[in-house]
Amino acid sequence: MKINFIALFVAIIAAIAWEADAQFNYVTNNGAITITLYTGSGGAVVIPGTINNRQVTTIGDGIHSVFAYTSVSSVTVTNNVTLIQTNAFQMASSITNVIMGTNVTTIGNGAFFYCNGLTSVKIPSSVTNLGIWAFENCNNLNSVIISNGPTSIAQGAFEDCPNLTNVAIPNSVTNIGELAFGNDTSLTNIKLPNSLTIIGQFAFGSCDLTNLTIPASVTSIGSDAFSEVFSPASAFYFAGNEPSGDSTIFSGDNGNVYYLPGATGWGKTFGGLFTVLWNPQPQTSGASFGIHSNQFGFNITGPTNIVLTVDACTNLANPIWQAVQTITLNGGSYYFSDSQWTNYHVRFYRLRSP
């Protein structure tokens, strides 16, 4: 009877079990493996696809960081992994690079919190759930590329990343949450996708934005979403009708809000800034239009002190526009001239926001 009891006890332990591999502690759940702790010597680490013929599907147990305080320099996540759990890489400051497998669907809350060695991250299109504070306080993170997959960038996902300068947001994203990029003080430019409808509170607060275009799809902007961007020459361009929002959206900022002809709902102010109709016009008649001193030129008129870029291309059927000059309409007028016009058989121009 004693022997049977011992055999049964061993069988139960094996079934639920905490187990160990050469580099990992892990548990088995419904035949799949969750890695709970890295125990190796560091360096470049590859998460195995299988251990003991069982698929490795999950990193992290939701309580402790798997890689904190280790000397791991890089991690490759194999394609069997679907879930990176809460806190999985938290405080793993030695990791400089993580390559995620193409089947990861969820990056949990705080999964990469305070990973100070991480400099860039590419989130695969398989990811549909990007948790809150997922990359918060990654002090050396400078580049984030999010592939077309998630519909939301969660609260504080990239908050307090002071060296973040390059962010690519895909057209799958409809909601940028509260504090998503808050206090990212090196973030000067970002392109918002045309799918975006909601920008949360303080989403870009205390960034160093200089110019930003808000797509026409945006219908709601939260309090302090762009507060204290610390750029005296900031300009905010709206491609559509006035969205909902209160007077704090641009609190602490200077500059203007520009809207296009035909857009509705705009008053004299929005979000605490004055609004200006953005309607610069090239003047194609008069003495200024044409060739002068071997340069082709024309006057541009519009609202005083607006900044715009003149682009040029050589084929309207297949246009490849190139910036020629960025100008300011001091006093509401500027004479533009192109010294390169003689290098082309034909040259077309357009005006746009910077």
The per-residue pLDDT for range 292-344, each reduced to its tens digit, is 988 999 999 999 989 999 999 999 999 999 999 999 999 999 999 999 999 99
Q: For residues 303 and 278, is the Cβ–Cβ distance under 8 A? A: yes
| Confidence (pLDDT) at 63 | 67
Beta-bridge partner residues of 143:
120, 166
**What φ, ψ does residue 342 adopt, rounded to 5°?**
-70, -10
CA distance 255 to 158: 26
Q: Model confidence over 280-304: pLDDT tens digits?
A: 999 999 899 999 988 999 999 999 9
Give residue-wise pLDDT tens across range 242-283: 999 999 999 998 889 999 999 999 999 999 999 999 999 999
DSSP per position, 54-100: EEEEEE--SSS-SSTT--EEEEEE-TT--EE-TTTTTT-TT--EEE-
Which stretches within the chain are classed as H helix?
2-16
Domains of the chain: 2-277 (3.80.10.10), 282-352 (2.60.40)
Query: 62-88 burial, b for 16+ CB within 10 Å, e for fewer?
Result: eeebbbbebebebbebbebbbbbbbbb
Burial group, residue 25, by CB count within 10 angstroms (0-12, 13-18, 19+): middle
Q: Looking at the predicted structure, is the pLDDT value of residue 32 above 80?
A: yes
pTM for this entry: 0.87
Cα separations in angstroms, 277 against 179, 226, 239, 268, 302:
30, 20, 11, 10, 9
Distance CA 153, CA 131 (A): 8
